[in-house]
Amino acid sequence: MGTSNLIDGRAIAEQIHAETAQRIEKLKQRGIQPGLAFVRVGEDPASKVYVGMKERTSTRLGIRSLTRVLDEKTSEADLLTLIRELNVDPAIHGILVQAPLPSHIQASRVYSTVSPEKDVDGFHPVNVGKLMLGDSSGFAPCTPAGVQQLLIRSGVNTEGVEVVILGRGDIVGKPMAAILCQKGKHANSTVTICHSRTRNIAEHCRRADILIAAMGVAEFVKADMVKHGATVIDVGVNRVNDPAAKGGSKLVGDVDFAAIQPIAGKITPNPGGVGPMTIAMLMQNTVLAAEQLTEKAV
């Protein structure tokens, strides 16, 4: 089938960046530069890479970025103090606390301390509640929002179709279900969430018109689990041993891509599928935060 059924996340992310840049330009004409603060605790190698990518994208689009790196042993109280300072900083419109956090810090307390109006990750309970209620004034988590945009901009119909989501996590699985089961355009799906306790997962998957894999198990989804012509979205990022690869390992998704691409109607590559969209939606959320905070100040 070649690449004709690939959903190009990089190209779609660039479309969104272009739209975001136009909104940034309008804000700048009013003397406002959107500001995004990154908070990283410790020296987790993947976190450093992710924050670096987000910083570079911010700079390219014209968003002012501020990065605060705290020592691995930083106390939860000190981290919360920093977040409260950023909450009241008028030059900062969005705050992102990079996961994972050290084990002695309670992530839920951290995310609840970020001001809901600056919570561009969409993890604050207020924004989680708004997402469930279909209130668009809140911030949707970046990865599931990005998946919805991939579907919309690839012409994938969600109305009344069967969606199966593998994974019930707070960052992707649950909010993804909340987005697609809403009564509204680009949603109205019949959603099933599968997880580690689900019986006969393969049977559920074979029903899916849209299959979204976000369970963090390398190449879990095999060809015999996918209906011919289904849309397959691979959110997984898993490091596996590969003696032939540089460094002895490589990153793979939750989907056995080579086996499934020939039977899928549309499929995301990995990398180059969902990943670029997560950053695109973060930038869009930051601009929305700047717009909303500016309107509130008027």
- The whole-angstrom distance between residue 99's C-alpha and the CA centroid of its chain comes to 12
pLDDT of residue 295: 85
Q: In what order do the strands lie in the sheet with 94-97?
A: 64-70, 35-41, 94-97
Average pLDDT over the chain, rounded to whole? 96
Q: Are the beta carbons of 102 and 267 closer than 8 angstroms?
A: no
Rounded to an integer, what distance in angstroms lies between the CA atom of residue 167 and that of residue 171?
10
Q: Which residues contact 238 (CB under 8 A, 6 or more apart)?
A: 216, 217, 218, 219, 251, 252, 253, 254
Judge if pTM exceeds 0.75: yes
**Would you call the peptide bond into 276 cis, given omega within 30 degrees of 0 as the criterion?**
no
Contact residues for 162 (Cβ-Cβ < 8 A; gap 6+): 189, 190, 192, 207, 208, 209, 210
Same fold, 31-116 and 142-275: yes
Band of pLDDT at residue 283, cut at 50, 70 and 90: very high
- CA–CA gap between residue 205 and residue 244 (Å, rounded): 32
Domain boundaries defined on the chain: 31-116, 142-275
CB 207 within 8 A of CB 227: yes
Mean of pLDDT values over 269-285: 96
Q: From CA 19, how far away is CA 28, in angstroms rounded?
A: 15
**Residue (of 27, 8, 112) closest to 283 by Cα position:** 27
Q: How many CA atoms lie within 13 A of 131 on its CB side?
A: 27
pLDDT value of residue 246: 87
Q: Enter the CATH code of domain 31-116.
A: 3.40.50.10860
- Whether the ω angle into residue 116 lies within 30 degrees of 0, i.e. cis, is no
Question: Is the pLDDT at 1 greater than 60, yes or no?
Answer: no
Instruction: Tell me what pLDDT residue 153 has.
Output: 98
CA-wise closest residue to 178 among 130, 221, 245, 226 = 130
What topology is assigned to 142-275 in CATH?
A: Rossmann fold (3.40.50)
Q: Which residues are catalytic?
A: 54, 98, 121
Q: Dump pLDDT digits (tens) for 133-150.
A: 999 999 999 999 999 999
Give the mean model confidence (pLDDT) for residues 222-234: 98
Which residue is listed with tokens 């479309």? 15
